[in-house]
Amino acid sequence: MSDSVVLDPVDLEILRLLQNDARMTYRELAAAVGVAASTCLDRVARLRRGGVILGQVLRVDPARLGRPLEALLSVQVRPHRAELIGPFVERVRALPQARALFHLTGPDDYLVHVAVAGPAALQRLVLEEFTARREVARVETRLIFGRWECGPVLPPAPAESGPGPVG
């Protein structure tokens, strides 16, 4: 946790508000947290420089773009060697169907979130882009029935950051 940044209550409120609406103006944000607009601008700039705020993201609805079926693909790569990892990751990231890619511990090496036009497109994606690859030993597919956003992400409360002294 050495990469953590110390945040005060105003910083935390700025992050909470921006995570819920990243399009807020600095004037609106400053009013909401009770500081001057220039102070708010400085704080947001500091959070960006410190790597706490990584950017702004546009979220799109895959179904509105003709990709209503979403799935999670658990992928096992064999052999799991460094020279295969980079090319595999780049190939998956280049797929227009890929929404997110996670490198895991455990029996599966990767979890790939995909959005496709329908069952036939999902089958084609699995067969042509995954199981046809020599290094892919296994793919397990799970359909996504629903998804809910969680958050905002804030630093852990003292009780969450680990056990305290015993005594």
Convert the pLDDT of each residue in 89-98 to its tens digit. 999 999 999 9
Nearest one of 64, 63, 47, 45 to 8, comparing CA atoms: 47
152 sits in the region (left: phi over 0; alpha: psi -120 to 50; else beta) called beta
CA separation for the pair 49, 84 (Å, rounded): 33
Tokens matching residue 148: 């809910």
Residue 1: pLDDT band by 50, 70, 90 thresholds?
A: very low
Higher-scoring residue by pLDDT: 52, 162: 52
pLDDT tens column, 12-51: 999 999 998 999 999 999 999 999 999 999 999 999 999 9
> Hey, what domains does the chain have and what are their CATH numbers?
9-49 (1.10.10.10), 62-143 (3.30.70.920)
The amino acid at 113: H
Q: What is the pTM of this model?
A: 0.82
Tokens matching residue 108: 């599966």
